[in-house]
Amino acid sequence: MNRPATGAWRDGDPPGRRRFVDIGCVKLERNGELPDVTIAYETWGQLNALGDNAVLVLHALTGDSHVVGPVEPGHPTPGWWDGLIGPGCPIDTDRWFVVAPNVLGGCQGSTGPASPAPDGRPWASRFPAITVRDQVTAEVALADHLGIDSWAAAIGGSMGAMRVLEWAVMAPGRVRGIAPIAVSATATPDQIALQSIQIHAIRNDPNYRDGGYLDDAHLDPYAPGPHNGLALARRLAHWSYRSREEFSLRFGRDPQGEEDPFSGGRFAVESYLDHHGEKLTHRFDAASYVVLTGAMNSHDIGRDRGGVRAALSEVEAAVLVAGVDSDRLYPLEEQHALAHHLRVPGERAELIRSPYGHDGFLIELPQVGRLIERLLDRTA
Residues annotated as part of the active site: 158, 327, 358
Residue 307, by phi and psi: left (phi above 0), alpha (psi -120 to 50) or beta? Answer: left
How far apart CA 369 and CA 118 sit, in angstroms, is: 42
How far apart CA 372 and CA 36 sit, in angstroms, is: 35
Of the candidates 187, 191, 195, 145, the residue with the CA atom closest to the CA atom of residue 166:
187
Measured between its terminal Cα atoms, the distance across the chain in Å is: 50
How far apart CA 85 and CA 276 sit, in angstroms, is: 26
- E-strand ranges in the chain read 19-27, 33-44, 54-58, 85-86, 91-92, 97-101, 153-157, 177-181, 318-319, 322-324, 350-352
Of the candidates 141, 292, 111, the residue with the CA atom closest to the CA atom of residue 202:
292
Cβ pair 8, 227 in contact under 8 A: no
Residue 27, by phi and psi: left (phi above 0), alpha (psi -120 to 50) or beta? Answer: beta
Of the candidates 95, 25, 24, 90, the residue with the CA atom closest to the CA atom of residue 54:
95
Count of alpha carbons within 13 angstroms of residue 337, beta-carbon side: 14
Cβ pair 205, 228 in contact under 8 A: yes
Paired with 40 in beta bridges are: 20
